[in-house]
Amino acid sequence: MNLDKKLYTLKYSPDTESHLKPDFEQCKLCITKCCVNICPAQVYEWNEETQELIVNFENCLECGACRIACERQCLNWQYPKGTKGVTFKQG
């Protein structure tokens, strides 16, 4: 089963503004870009053409893995606003 189908099972109330704010200049210098692989919701994608990190923040499961793993420690990671983000019905 692919990840999109997994994420489709979740209830989200996305904000208009991202709660995940990487320093995009630092991301360009980052060698491993480990956030792209470790994120369990594939929030982060690296665009080779534009050399930019794409942040699909509306898929975030709010686990915090990217915050801890970020090699350059350049991620401003906050919880989404109180009414926003993911809601687990099972947990």
Contact footprint for other proteins (CB under 8 A): 1, 3, 5-7, 9-10, 32, 34, 37-38, 40-42, 61-65, 67-69, 71, 73, 78-83, 85-91
Output the smallest distance, CB 27 to other proteins, in A. Answer: 15
Instruction: Write down the H helix ranges in 16-80.
Output: 24-29, 35-38, 65-69
Output the smallest distance, CB 1 to other proteins, in A. Answer: 7
Dihedrals phi, psi of 75, to nearest 5 degrees = -105, 120
- Cβ closer to other proteins: 23 or 71? 71
Q: Give the Cα separation of 67 and 84 in Å (integer).
A: 19
| Among candidate residues 65, 80, 76, 67, the one with its CA nearest the CA of residue 13 | 80
Output the smallest distance, CB 53 to other proteins, in A. Answer: 16
